[in-house]
Amino acid sequence: MTYIVTEACIKCKYTDCVEVCPVDCFYEGDNMLVIHPDECIDCGVCEPECPPEAILPDTDPQADQWLSLNRDFSETWPNITRKKDAPADADSHKGEENKYEKYFSDKPGLGD
Ligand code: SF4
Ligand code: SF4
What is the pLDDT, as a whole number, of residue 15?
96
Parts of the chain with a pLDDT under 70: none
| Residues 108 and 78: beta-carbon distance below 8 Å | yes
User: Which fold would CATH assign to domain 3-82?
Assistant: Alpha-Beta Plaits (3.30.70)
Quote the strand ranges of 25-103, DSSP E.
26-28, 33-35, 55-57
What is the pLDDT, as a whole number, of residue 82?
97
Q: Is the CB of 55 under 6 A from ligand 1?
A: yes
Query: What distance in angstroms lies between residue 39's CA and the mean position of ligand 2's atoms?
Result: 8
Q: Which atom of ligand 1 is nearest to the CA of 32?
A: 8
What is the pLDDT, as a whole number, of residue 106?
98
Query: What distance in angstroms lies between residue 93's CA and the mean position of ligand 2's atoms?
Result: 24
